[in-house]
Amino acid sequence: MAKAGVQQKYDALALLGGPAVRPGGQKPYNTIGAREKQAVIAVLDSGELSGFVASAGPEFWGGTHVRALEAAFKQHFGVRHAIAVNSATSGLHCATLAMGLNPGDEVVVPPYTMSATATAVVMAGAVPVFADIEPQTFGLDPQSVRDNLTPYTKGIIAVNLFGHPARLNELRELADEHGLFLIEDNAQAPDAMCGDRKAGTVGDCGIFSLNRHKTMQSGEGGVLITNDDKIALKAALVRNHGEVVVAAMAVDDIVNTMGLNLRMTEMEAAVAGVQFDRLAELNEQRQVNAAYLTRRLAEVDGIAPPDVAAGCSHVYYLYAMKYDAEVTGIPRNIFCEALTAEGFYTRAGYVKPIYLEPMYQRKLAVGSGGFPFTASPRNASLSYRKGLCPVTERMQDHELMLTTVFQPPSQQHDLDLYVEAIHKVIAHREALLAYRTRGAAGV
């Protein structure tokens, strides 16, 4: 229902030539301050911008700041090992190879995630099998995972999407029941809780991101955590040209230890160390704003704020809403377009379901012969058809909306304006629908 008085206050939508609720849009998210700058200057003054050397010995493990960051992750998450890399994508690559995958092995993954979650499986010579998500918090649906298990399944990658844990305990039980590994792609949910455990610690290993868009960031970067000695060693070998150090390090199991340069620089590690130290503060800013926005959205019919499962905590990488066009009377995509024009970026959907990308539609990845798909014993019946994951497709095509308006430096006043902009768009529904009709007709 539109808020009383909004129609009178705004004669026209910004999309239709009227004044925007917030001219100029939102200020960028920037958490880099004096401590981060001082950390970088200290590295520059030291002259050691990277501490890595691709040979056996102390420098195989990286520089002072890289090792300090790893030590901080180990202490904070209560794990035996942390391996810092140059991106979360690299962390996923290290993780999948460390699991000992063979060509044609299958790994169950969600289709509603950044593409690297599934690409890491392909890069390991294995085949992604896509299970659907559950519609409340958008993580893997354990029942859909179970329905997609085959004799060739070796593992599961769960994604803790938008800042909320997947159904990790159920996925862990399922993995243990069938002798499968469980990797957590925890790029978006640092310090989210699943019961009494932190996201990223339920799986055999967890991957964290330090990308420029993340809550804590160093431009690029990632960290893999695990309690498994073998996973940690193989991940370190993949990070730093393992093929030339396994002999000197007396590594007997050299399967999947051919490495790349996935090393983190000292400057990135120095910035990441400061940001990680500030993680509780950075999360709290988002959680406070998200809680306030959730309360304000209670007055808007047709928009449901994010769910938080019982016993879990949400750290709000993005604020994910579900939209009901039948209630608002406005198609979701044009609603988001109008709201964005008012100065509040709102995204319709998240990403195309991964299996609809050309690599999966054509089953072409490495070389022209179709590897690794052709290595699968059931390649002929392995389907990536549209309709494969109906919940995912419904969210992407019709229901999901995302916004970053809650992120600092936004404050309650900005969130009040966001809700006001929503009311404004709904109040001008008829003009918006007429605009859409004219556009469709080419007028």
What would the pLDDT profile of 283-336 be if each residue is shown by its tens digit? Answer: 999 999 999 999 999 999 999 999 999 999 999 999 999 999 999 999 999 999
Query: pLDDT band at 440, cuts 50/70/90?
Result: low
**Helix, coil or strand: residue 116:** helix
Position 1 pLDDT exceeds 60: no
Among 3.40.640.10, 3.40.50.720, 3.40.50.620, 3.30.1950.10, name the CATH number for the domain at 34-278: 3.40.640.10
pLDDT value at residue 436: 81
Q: Of 253, 262, 219, 422, nearest to 340 (Cα)?
A: 422
Over the stretch 371-391, which tens digit does the pLDDT of each residue have? 999 999 999 999 999 999 999
**Domain residue ranges of the chain, discontinuous segments joined by +:** 6-28+280-350+394-440, 34-278
Q: Of 255, 267, 245, 250, nearest to 84 (Cα)?
A: 267
Superfamily of the domain at 6-28+280-350+394-440: Aspartate Aminotransferase, domain 1 (3.90.1150.10)
**Helix, coil or strand: residue 193:** strand
Over the stretch 147-183, which tens digit does the pLDDT of each residue have? 999 999 999 999 999 999 999 999 999 999 999 999 9
Q: What is the pTM of this model?
A: 0.95
Mean pLDDT of 76-84: 98
Q: Of 396, 306, 292, nearest to 354 (Cα)?
A: 396
Q: Which residues of 115-153 are buried (b: 16+ CB within 10 A; e: fewer)?
A: ebbbbbbbbbbbbbbbbbbbeebbbbbbebbeebbeebb
Contacts with 4 (C-beta within 8 Å, 6 or more apart), sequence order = none
Structure tokens at 197: 């455990």
In eight-state DSSP terms, residue 374 is: G
Position 344 pLDDT exceeds 50: yes
